[in-house]
Chains A and B, each alone.
Chain A
Amino acid sequence: MYAQMVKSTGERPKTLDEMTPEERAFQTRIDADIKIEPKEWMPEGYRKTLIRQISQHAHSEVVGQLPEGNWINRAPTLDRKAILIAKVQDEAGHGLYLYCAAETLGVSRDELIQQLLTGKAKYSSIFNYPSLTWADIGAIGWLVDGAAIMNQVQLQRCSYGPYSRAMIRICKEESFHQRQGYDIMMALMRGSPEQQEMAQDALNRWWWPSLMMFGPSDADSVHSAQSMAWKIKPVGNDELRQRFVDQTVPQAEFIGLKVPDPEVKWNEERGHYDFGEIDWEEFYRVLKGEGPCNRERMAARQKAWDDGEWFREGLMAHSKKRAAKKLAAE
């Protein structure tokens, strides 16, 4: 999802018998739904996996500002412009909360940002697709935020206290994000043939990348099993993806849009929608850095960082001067 392919220990979870007494006590607390807090003892693998997951999530929020920010200057009305700025601003805020949550695990924000800029840390593949028309802003809100919320709701139950608390705050603030996206799509579908075509085109382009947001099938990942055992990821990728499809297909139909997958069909027996195979080659290619906008996204983040250095340093220099003056006066 926003954290799609978080490497964990790379091994299957240990059984209680295989654990050291410390590990066993830790796992027992997790199983009893007791939250783990920053300075408590935790297995090194738990700490590292969490840093990867939370920072990946934070990077996704921050990079996620870019495709939507691309339309702030061109929003078609004053209200749409204000809503879009508020939403992109929220993403900055959520990035901020998440970086802070990661920092409780003994890593600094600047270090994490360096990991992003050097390509060591990943962010969600979804933000490497271009936002070409205004309808993309609708599609991103409806689909991308819809998928994000589905993931984040369950992460509120994550075993790590600071992450769980950040998720609670984020979910509360994000409740309007998906609705404003769907609202844009509704307005388009009520509009001219040109607008309807624009909406359908956006759905066609964002549908599959949205499904990829949930990451590869759990069956293909040893990391998933460990993360689920630690309740870093309470619900698996496949289950979340199915929930998303079940929720979204009727929403599309309701406003007269067609999901671009001929295999989408209600399965009475399963009580779910069936859907087609995801192009995993595309997913891995985008994740590896060869999506349509990977270079542009990183270039934009790098530019903000480089161009902002004088600002960060200048303010720090002033604070030091002030502190020195205060000390001298005492």
Chain B
Amino acid sequence: MIKNFFIIAILAGLAAIFVTLFWDFGDSETLTPLATHYATNGATEVGAPNLVTSIVVTYRGFDTLGEVTILFLVASIVSFFLKREKVQKEIAPKRETSEIILTAAKLLVPIVMLLGVYVFINGHLTPGGGFQGGAIIATAFVLLLMANPDFEINHKIIATVESVSGIAFVLIGVLGILLAGGFLDNKVLPLGTFGKIFSAGAIPLIYSFVGLKVGSELSNILSNLQGVQKEEM
């Protein structure tokens, strides 16, 4: 089979490249100059204890903006593709959701959402941040959808939250040009005390908006993929 031969040839070539890379790999003992700059000046320049957050939100804030845009595009393409049909109703008899899931969903959904909010508000102090918090909020929606498959997420609210937080994210960035050093600079607000919750300038604000935006986009994708729909082709 000529196809299998090609597959094996490609894999063998890639494996050879990996072996040469593997021999070149040495245990690194010191940081690269870029990382050294972030590590020594991060505390005074940005004021956030979590260096990953300060890189994601401030030093490379533009990347985050692009990433949120990609998620927005994915959410809109998925909902364009899998449009829900309103006329068609469930024909097959539904299975009853078990009592345990119903009760647990009622109890757990607020707590899970609160955990998501905690994770993105404390993103500059502890591990976590907007993307993780948004994903946790989306899992709360998954729990709701499991307990009640007919549950309709209110698309108006989701669209409003999503667009308002997106606009606010860009507006804070533009304010950075006007009041501070450049686009998405966090010195719009005072830096505050190092290690307190209201510190690090605009980082908690920006990460909260990113969290809300990611959470609503992921919930939108999930509810579009979950919905039972039949279309005539």
Chains A and B belong together in one complex = no
A residues touching B (Cβ–Cβ < 8 Å)? none
